Amino acid sequence: MGEYGDAMPYEVEHDEDEWRRRLGVEEFMVLRQAATERPWSGALLHEHRDGLFTCKGCGNELFLSGTKFDSGCGWPSFYEAVRPDAVELIDDHSHGMVRTEVRCARCGGHLGHVFPDGYGTPTGDRYCMNSLALDFSPTD
């Protein structure tokens, strides 16, 4: 088990060198090393078109634009994944906090964290995602 600590085998697996070739430096840091982009810096924060958000690492379908909402936290926020099995939820006790990490269920890439403070949303959840971990395909 490497420093990333994969909890399960994933459908898409590459060694560290291949991930580095496939991803930009910042994308690698977020997706493979669980870094976090600076708040308010993400390219997808203000994306409001209809479409689909996918994993930048493997293309897995993750979030529909209709579930995106402005949480005021500085990162793109969604209230639910496109399918329950699209993401993997992992207990995260890093940095002296207790949180729930969200990973892509297909490649294990770190996407962000989910919090139970999505007040006013149908699920009550706030999936706080890194733009660097996502791609967006508009439907219009």
Task: Give the chain's domains with CATH numbers.
Answer: 16-138 (2.170.150.20)
Side-chain-side CA neighbours of residue 39 (13 Å): 6
Instruction: Output the pLDDT for position 8.
Output: 57
Q: Which residue has the higher pLDDT, 105 or 95?
A: 105
pLDDT reading at 6 higher than 70? no
C-beta separation of 89 from 100 below 8 A: yes
Query: What tokens were used for 13?
Result: 């697996």
- DSSP for 51-88? EEEEETTT--EEEEGGGEE--SSSS-EESS-SSGGGEE
Given the residues 55, 104, 107, 128, select the one marked as catalytic.
Answer: 128
Mean of the per-residue pLDDT values of the chain: 92
Q: Is the pLDDT reported for residue 3 higher than 90? A: no
pLDDT for 103-134, tens place per residue? 999 999 999 999 999 889 999 999 999 999 99
* pTM, to two decimals: 0.90
Residue 31 three-state SS:
helix
The residue-averaged pLDDT of 23-34 equals 97
Instruction: List pLDDT tens digits, range 63-81.
Output: 999 999 999 999 999 999 9
Indicate if 128 belongs to the active site. yes
